Amino acid sequence: MATVPTIESERFVLRELTAGDVAAFWPAFSDPGNMRWWSREAFTSREELAAWLLSTDWDGRSWAAIERSSGEPVCRVIASPGMEGVSEIGYATVLGRHGQGIARECVGALISHLFQKEAMRRVWADVDPDNAASNALVKGLGFTLEGRLREAWKTHIGVRDSLIWGLLAREWPAPS
C-alpha cells in the first residue's frame, strides 16, 4: 500500500485512517439514506466496515480528516491511482456534519496535495447523477463535467448512470 502523508488545512488534519476511526464512521456507513448513492448498500456490522475501510487489497489511500478543535474524525477522503499522473478521489462526511464545508475543505486540501506534492496532472470523480450534494461539491471545486456513462453501475438501488467529473492541474488555483 502507498504511503499516506499527513495533509493539513485550516480546520483539519488529514492523516492515515486507522482502526480507531471506525467508530466515528460507523453511523454514516451503516445508514441506508447516507449510503443511497454508493455502489453498495449500508454496512451491517462494524467488523465488515472495519475490514473494508482498512483493506490492503486495493492500491488506493485513505485519510481520516480530524477536526483540529475537537480531535474527532469528521470526513474520509481517498485517492486511488489510475493511469500515470491520474488519481480518482472520493469522500464521505460523518453523519450530522453535512453542509458545514467539511468535505469541500478536506477534498480541496487533498487535491492541492495531489497536484502540488505528487505532480498529478488530472484528478477525477465518479458521481451518481442524482447525488445533488456531491455533484455540487465537485462543480464548486472547479471540476468539469466530462461525460455521462449510461448504466455504468449495478447497485443496491438498481442500475445507475455515472457522471464523470475531471479537474486538471492547470485548472486548480495556486495556493494563497
> Across the chain, how many H-helices and E-strands are there?
4, 8
d(CA 28, CA 21): 12
Region 77-94 average pLDDT: 95
137-176 pLDDT, tens digit each:
999 999 999 999 999 999 999 999 999 999 999 999 854 4
Task: Let me know: does 132 contact 140? Beta carbons within 8 Å.
Answer: no
CATH of the domain at 36: 3.40.630.30
pLDDT in the model for residue 2: 75
* Placement of cell 488545512 in the chain: 9
- The reply to whether 1 falls in a domain is no
Structurally, how many domains does the chain consist of?
A: 1
Between CA 162 and CA 97 the distance in angstroms is 25
Binning pLDDT at 50, 70 and 90, where does residue 99 land? confident
Residue 33 within any structural domain of the chain? yes
- Residue 101 belongs to some domain of the structure: yes
Alpha-carbon span 57 to 13, nearest angstrom: 25
Tell me the three state secondary structure of residue 25. Answer: helix
Q: How far apart are CA 164 and CA 32, in angstroms?
A: 24
Q: pLDDT tens for residues 54-84?
A: 998 888 999 999 999 999 999 999 999 989 9
Asked if residue 176 belongs to a domain, the reply is: no
In this structure, the chain runs to a length of 176
b/e map 72-92, b = 16+ CB within 10 Å: ebbbbbbbbbeeeeebbbbbb
pLDDT of residue 39: 86
Q: Is residue 2 part of a domain?
A: no
Compute the average pLDDT of residues 96-125. Answer: 95
Average pLDDT, the chain: 94
pLDDT at position 1? 56
How much is the pTM? 0.94
Q: Which domain holds residue 81?
A: 7-171
